[in-house]
Chains A and B, each alone.
Chain A
């Protein structure tokens, strides 16, 4: 985690790159996770984009603590997205039996 000199407010930043199997999955993850607004927009800014088959996030916050909480929250939601992909991707015509 780096402390950016000069910018007083959102001084802590962190980048995260999450690899997916393909570009389509990265795009789906981006669209599933990015709509939800950040509650304290003046304390934290998160930007989402895809680079090839990776989902790339940039967290900018007023403190390490704010960023840590945001990342923990992001990972929780990411787990749901990845589990959905593991279980449902390419299975639109699949009949699930005995669950």
Chain B
């Protein structure tokens, strides 16, 4: 039996269109998606009509604060919605619903965007659909890559989770016990005062490519979970010793060559990604799967993709799926896509039920649109 996804199609139409609003962190995204009727498959695919994003970028050495990020979103949200509508060449009357990120994320930015979603939904008399940010990433990743039932590695600035689907829930197999991997990389970028443009993690990746020496850092996998705050403190300490007032010189034990900032970036990436590969591999064994889907902002890191590929190649029929920065990094289209699936199964939110929440776990969502 499969789920009937077409109980709510508009009379005389064989497709749906949804607008999605994302603003859980420093990216403000608006996307418009079109889904044909029937089950989505390789021959019946969703179509991205527009996917517009504006990122709040802070100066080197500074992170983004909730209040300032919310102000950025408020300043841009109406303009970005108009741009998305104009690129997609659709009108409000073409839309089936308006989807928004209900959590998890930073409270103030989430709230600044949902106010626009509520107003627009009322002005155009459209239903609202609240979307879990993580589920948005997973569904968009599945749609873009065609991975049908993968183990999902969700790695971003605010989240680090290994997820597998079972019985209408995306279940968390392992996760970070403290900070997210993207947060760890971003904060190290701040210590090194490297630019946040286009993304701190991207700049770390470029520096890491020039690194040669592996510096010894703690390796902290705890069962299926991992911990990264200790690693950050350690590598931060090394960087402060090297570039602070002390100006302490570190040398590579084997070659006697000086350790550089590039070496630290290289070592941090290597150690963090090895940990991710380890828990992902264990999750694959648990659920007897051979597909890995990497989603989230850190998923656009090529070194992580490469290391995951090396692991997956050793498994029988192993396959790795990843998307590019348009869909990896937070965006509105994934919210539109996941929200529309939810809408097609009759799940919508009344206005009083649209309050955003900073904590909203992936496994709280009832995945009504799947029943495999």
Closest B residue to A89 by beta carbon equals B123
Residues of A within 8 A of B71 (CB): 76
Q: How far is the CB of B125 from chain A (nearest CB, A)?
A: 8
In the complex, whether B42 has a CB less than 8 A from a CB of chain A is no
Residues of B within 8 A of A84 (CB): 78, 116, 119-120, 123
Residues of B within 8 A of A32 (CB): 115, 118-119, 122, 351
In the complex, whether B209 has a CB less than 8 A from a CB of chain A is no
In the complex, whether A87 has a CB less than 8 A from a CB of chain B is yes
In the complex, whether B33 has a CB less than 8 A from a CB of chain A is no
Q: How far is the CB of A30 from chain B (nearest CB, A)?
A: 10
In the complex, A98 Cα to B70 Cα: how many Å? 26
Contact B83 A92 (CB under 8 A): no
In the complex, A37 Cα to B111 Cα: how many Å? 11
Q: How far is the CB of B308 from chain A (nearest CB, A)?
A: 39
Q: What is the size category of the interface that chain A forms with chain B?
A: 20 to 34
Contact B118 A95 (CB under 8 A): no
Residues of B within 8 A of A28 (CB): 119, 122-123
Residues of B within 8 A of A94 (CB): 91-92
Closest A residue to B354 by beta carbon equals A35
In the complex, whether A42 has a CB less than 8 A from a CB of chain B is no
Q: How far is the CB of A45 from chain B (nearest CB, A)?
A: 17
Q: Which of A15-50 contact B (CB under 8 A)?
A: 28-29, 31-33, 35-37
Q: Mark B69-81, 1 if CB is under 8 A from A, else 0.
A: 0110010011101
Residues of B within 8 A of A33 (CB): 115
Q: Are A88 and B123 also in contact (CB < 8 A) when A37-B355, A93-B92 are?
A: yes
In the complex, whether A77 has a CB less than 8 A from a CB of chain B is yes
Q: How far is the CB of A48 from chain B (nearest CB, A)?
A: 12
Contact A97 B78 (CB under 8 A): no
Residues of A within 8 A of B78 (CB): 80, 83-84, 87-88
The residue that A96 contacts in the complex, of B74, B85, B115, B118, with Cβ under 8 A, is B85
In the complex, A89 Cα to B122 Cα: how many Å? 10
Q: How far is the CB of A80 from chain B (nearest CB, A)?
A: 5
Closest B residue to A28 by beta carbon equals B122
Q: Mark B219-249, 1 if CB is under 8 A from A, else 0.
A: 0000000000000000000000000000000
Contact A35 B82 (CB under 8 A): no
Contact A80 B92 (CB under 8 A): no
Residues of A within 8 A of B82 (CB): 87, 96, 99
Residues of A within 8 A of B10 (CB): none
Residues of A within 8 A of B70 (CB): 76
The residue that A99 contacts in the complex, of B79, B90, B122, with Cβ under 8 A, is B79
The residue that A29 contacts in the complex, of B90, B119, B355, with Cβ under 8 A, is B119
Contact A80 B119 (CB under 8 A): yes
Contact A80 B112 (CB under 8 A): yes
Q: Mark B60-103, 1 if CB is under 8 A from A, else 0.
A: 00000000001100100111011101100111110000000000
Residues of A within 8 A of B116 (CB): 80-81, 84
Q: Which of B140-161 contact A (CB under 8 A)?
A: none
In the complex, whether A65 has a CB less than 8 A from a CB of chain B is no
Residues of A within 8 A of B79 (CB): 99
Q: Which of A54-99 contact B (CB under 8 A)?
A: 76-77, 79-81, 83-85, 87-89, 91-99
Residues of B within 8 A of A99 (CB): 79, 82-83, 85-86
Contact A36 B93 (CB under 8 A): no
Q: Mark B340-357, 1 if CB is under 8 A from A, else 0.
A: 000000000001111100
Q: Are A88 and B351 also in contact (CB < 8 A) when A31-B122, A76-B74, A99-B82 are?
A: no
Chain A residues close to B by CB (< 8 Å):
28-29, 31-33, 35-37, 76-77, 79-81, 83-85, 87-89, 91-99
Q: List 17 A-B contacts (CB under 8 A).
A: A28-B122, A32-B118, A32-B122, A35-B351, A77-B111, A77-B112, A77-B115, A80-B78, A80-B115, A80-B116, A87-B78, A87-B82, A92-B93, A92-B123, A94-B92, A95-B90, A99-B83
6 nearest A-B pairs in the assembled complex, by CB-CB distance: A92-B92, A84-B119, A32-B118, A96-B86, A99-B82, A28-B122
Chain B residues close to A by CB (< 8 Å):
70-71, 74, 77-79, 81-83, 85-86, 89-93, 111-112, 115-116, 118-120, 122-125, 351-355
